[in-house]
Structure 1
Amino acid sequence: MKKVVRWMLFVYVLYGIGMAWYLFVADTSIPLEWKGTSADPATFLTPREQMLSEEYSKWKDLLFFLAVPYEWLIYFCLLALGVAKALQTWVERATKWFTLRSVLYVFWLSLIVTAFSLPLNFVGYHLSRTYGISTQSVSSWLKDGLTNFLVDTVLFMLIATVLYWLLRRFERRWWLYAWALCVPFMIFFMFIQPVVIDPLYNDFYPLKDKKLEAKILALASEAHIPAEHVFEVNMSEKTNALNAYVTGIGSHARIVLWDTTLQRLEDEEVLFIMAHEMGHYVMKHIYWGIAGYIALAFFGLWIISKWIKLAIAKWGKLVGVNKVSDIASLPLFLLLVSLLSFALSPFVNAVSRYEEHAADKYAIELTKNPDAAISSFQKLTKAGLSEVNPPLIVKLFRYTHPTILERIVYLEEYQSSLRKKQ
């Protein structure tokens, strides 16, 4: 197994070199027909900003494509080097209570994975600071990291305890019962996230600018949306990037604007962004998203139940995992979940891009202001040093929104059709 680990490390290094070569030599220039238009970064970015945007995007993308298989490598090494089995042996000696064993195992597993992931995460933070995207201090970044660790670990303890109880109780149908419990948990989490989880990281409050609020209220009224769901969040202490999003469901649904967005965009541009988020609300994208994840969870758990059984039957003795219900199989379970999630991400991202484009269409039909829409995307690009036309692999695996090129081209074509009608 040590030889296998060495080979895996060698393959990882080769993969990293290959991915770096692909990202740094890929042609990201825009098509000739859009040169000189509002979609051309040369028309709204300075030469230095273009250079920084290209550099930052390439390093950020490389970090992403290194981080995902690095996570797989951590789980694999925990299994192959006997750490997963040794940790199980220790918790079994520490206590006879099943629940406490699960809690202890998850805590130490989370701590180990977090410790090994920390250097790569810090590189990402440093990269963002170096290029002026992040304004967050190291202490604030560490505080968010600790909060994230505690929240994730508590949730993970609950999930793992229930999961391994099901594995012990229902050897063949555990995945079906796990999925049945996933459904109410996902819906409940969507309810509590805006009011319990998100405020742990940032301060949320009603929109301060009352004149802008009046304009948003009028727009919301036109779209038949309750205005009390508009919130402002203090993000300027952490980032220079701009953003807005929809979160929560039912009475806890919120449309959230970063304060950086309010500071950098004109009112008409903010209204377009708000109209985009209203489009998500009107078209019930959050509910469709929940339904989609419930369906994916069903097929995902079924597939993983087959994979993990086969993997333990073939390699279980080598890594000290005798059966699926052994808590030592948890790193293998997480490895398979991560592999499947990554494999499905192009499909999930494609659905998300479709919904985001639909929201763009809704927003432009509601506001009838393509100039404000175009300038808002240009400013979003400038603030976040986003790549206008990323490489195909980056788009497939990373982009939950259409590219800036695609969004501005659509608006250019919309603007052109309006001129023809006039």
Structure 2
Amino acid sequence: MSERRVALVVTAVGGVAFVVLAALMVPWHPVPGGTPDPAPATSVFTARQIARAEDYAHWARIWSWSSLAVSLVVSCVLGFTRWGPRLVGRLPGWWWVRVVLAVAAVVLVGRIITLPFAVLLRRHVLDNGLSNQAWSGFAADLVRTEAVQIVATSVLLVVLVGCARRWRRAWPAVAGGLLGGLVLLGSFVYPVLVEPIFNDFTSLPEGTLRTQVLQLAETEGVPVNDVLVADASRRTTTLNAYVSGFGSTRRVVLYDNLVDDVPRDEALSVVAHELAHAKHDDVRTGSLLGSAGAVFGVGLLALVMGALAGRGRPSMREPAAVPLVLALFAIGTLLSSPVQNAISREIETRADVDALLVTRDAASFEAVQRELALRSLADPTPPALSQLWFGSHPIGLTRIAIARQLAERGF
């Protein structure tokens, strides 16, 4: 079977697997009675709060989207012109060393060129009191983030190029299977390998809150041996909690400022939301969808690379192909964002509904959603295109409307 036919089969298998998994595992109608329209902003926030949030979000979008656009341009220039292959051609070492060095070079070039936008956004965050972290800490986090990205991307590219060199026709199938497995492995080990690079974690101290959290977990049928607290307040003033990992690495993590600064009933509302993610194994769902997406992406990549190779572009077997592959990754990630975020919003909505049904405390849920929005200066009514493309969660006013609707119907 030719490489193109193998790529077509891999693309079809990955695409069908993604659609089937999404149909079976994603809660497409999570709200009883249907998702209501967002609550009026003026019923939750004052006019001054709305104006401040809109102003902050406006400039945050300008700096973020500008950085994204410039980053995409840089990737495409390196990937679709001769500059990228020339850069890789000057790198020394075995083929896999050149792949790693090429990944590092492309990532660092993109970071250096977009650094002014990161600094402007950081200045904007500091001016609005959303962080108390020193610039040195911000720089250290930036270095850590780039290092993690370079390592993870290098592993993927070494696998891709290595498979293409070893299996000249069947490489899309082999690489698709390996990368699909790596996505699952990455989600599994992320809590124990990557998260400790950025935060220190301690067990939630003995006391009323810990007891209530464990009781809530028992009510939701979620086995929890420990609840962790991250020292997030040294970096941000915003509130958050999350679930990561699955199986033996699954963990429920609360930001320390959520524990310290928020009334207990409101904190428990957030915990109930995260426990709902754990109950439904949402991290595993996302990992399986990501794995199927990786298979689909490898098949599509093989088709595009095969077509471009006939036009004088480097083949997948050459380290010189790395800039082109990274450019295609960047384009694919941007184009697939609406699908990924649509799925994420439905999963997040189900967790909200479950939390409300378990706690039966719409008032605390609404209060904490209001506090979360105020702490992060979230735009109450973001542009529709922005929410469609980049909104991983329902907007706060929709979440509040859901709470009000369920309360009116007696849960």
- TM-score band by shorter chain is 0.7 to 0.9
Structure 2 residue 346 is the aligned partner of structure 1 residue 344: no
Query: Helix, strand or coil: the match of 1:376?
Result: helix
Tell me the equivalent position of 1:255.
Answer: 252
Distance of 1:264 and 1:375 partners within structure 2:
13
Moved over 4 A (4+): none
CA–CA distance in structure 1, aligned partners of residues 324 and 360 of structure 2: 52
Contact 1:207 / 1:232 at 8 angstroms: preserved in 2?
A: yes
**2:293 aligned residue (293, 296, 301):** 296
* Corresponding position of 1:83: 83
Asked if 1:60 is matched to 2:57, the reply is: no
Structure 2 CA distance, aligned partners of 1:212 and 1:270?
9
Deviation at 1:288, TM superposition (A): 1.2
Q: Alpha-carbon deviation of 1:108?
A: 2.4
Answer whether contact 1:134 1:238 (CA < 8 A) is retained: yes
Correspondence for 2:365: 373
Answer yes or no: is 1:169 the counterpart of 2:166.
Answer: yes
Deviation, structure 1 residue 152: 2.0
Cα distance 1:371–1:149, how it changes in 2: closer, same or farther (>3 A)?
same
TM-fit CA distance, 1:309: 2.2
Q: Work out the CA distance in 2 between the residues paired with 1:202 and 1:48.
A: 34
Query: Which of residues 102, 107, 112 in structure 1 aligns to 2:104?
Result: 107
CA contact 1:229–1:253 (8 Å) conserved in 2 = no
Q: Which moved more, 1:110-119 or 1:344-353?
A: 110-119
**Cα 1:190–1:101, aligned 2, differ >3 Å: closer, same or farther?**
same
Residues 99, 161 of structure 1: 8 Å contact kept: yes
Aligned to 1:399: 391
Counterpart of 2:95 in structure 1 is 98
Q: Structure 2: which amino acid aligns with 1:407?
A: R
Shift of 1:177: 1.3
- The answer as to whether partners of 2:369 and 2:396 remain within 8 angstroms in 1 is yes
Partner of 1:412: 404
1:157 equivalent to 2:158? Answer no
Q: Deviations over 1:357-411 (max 9, x none)?
A: 1111111110011111110101011100111221110111111111111111111
SS at match of 2:202: strand
Distance 1:333 1:80 in 2: 10
Change (3 A) 1:83 1:229: farther
Tell me, what secondary structure is at the counterpart of 1:179? Answer: helix
Partner of 1:273: 270
Mapped to 2, the partners of 1:132 and 1:171 lie a distance apart of: 55
Pick the aligned partner of 1:330 from 322, 330, 336.
Answer: 322
3-state SS in 1 of match to 2:88: helix
**For residues 322 and 339 of structure 1, do their structure 2 counterparts lie closer, same or farther at Cα, with a shift above 3 Å needed?**
closer
Q: Describe the SS at the equivalent of 2:131.
A: coil
Change (3 A) 1:158 1:371: same
Higher relative contact order (CA 8 A, sep 6+): 2
Percent identity of equivalent pairs: 26
Amino acid at match of 2:345: R
Unpaired runs of 5+ in structure 2? 1-35
Paired amino acid for 2:347: E
Between 112-121 and 286-295, the greater mean CA deviation after superposition = 112-121
User: What is residue 23 of structure 2 aligned with on the other side?
Assistant: none
**How far is the alpha carbon of 1:170 from its aligned partner?**
2.4
Moved more, 300-309 or 103-112: 103-112
TM-score using structure 2 length: 0.86
Could you state the TM-score of these two structures normalised by the residue count of structure 1? 0.84
Distance 1:60 1:405 in 2: 20
CA distance in 1, matches of 2:66, 2:366: 33
Note if contact 1:312-1:322 (Cα within 8 Å) is conserved in structure 2: yes
- The SS at the match of 1:171 is coil
C-alpha distance 117-79 of structure 1, shift in aligned 2 (>3 A): same
Residue 347 (structure 2) aligns with: 355
> Within 2, Cα distance between the matches of 1:268 and 1:389?
27
Residue 44 of structure 1 deviates from its aligned partner by 4.5
Aligned pair count reads 376
The code of the aligned residue for 1:301 comes to V
- CA root-mean-square deviation: 2.0
Instruction: Specify the code of the residue in structure 2 equivalent to 1:62.
Output: I
Aligned to 2:130: 133
Per-residue deviation, 1:81:
5.4
- Which amino acid is the alignment partner of residue 349 of structure 1? N
| Greater CA drift, 386-395 or 368-377 | 386-395
| TM-aligned CA distance change 1:190 to 1:81, over 3 Å | closer
Shift of 1:34: 8.5
Give the aligned partner of residue 73 of structure 1.
73
Q: 2:261 aligns with which of 240, 260, 264?
A: 264
Q: Is the 8 A contact 1:217 1:227 kept in 2?
A: yes
Alignment of 1:184-223 (within 5 A): 184-208=181-205, 210-223=207-220
Query: What secondary structure, in the 3-state scheme, does the structure 2 residue paired with 1:227 have?
Result: coil
In the other structure, the counterpart of 1:9 is none
Deviation at 1:127, TM superposition (A): 1.7
Distance 2:305 2:352 in 1: 41
C-alpha offsets along residues 107-132 of structure 1, whole Å, 9 cap, x if unaligned? 32332222122222222222211221
Q: 1:246 is matched by which residue type in structure 2?
A: V
Contact 2:130 2:238 in 1 (8 A): yes
Change over 3 Å in CA distance of 1:360–1:60 after alignment to 2: same
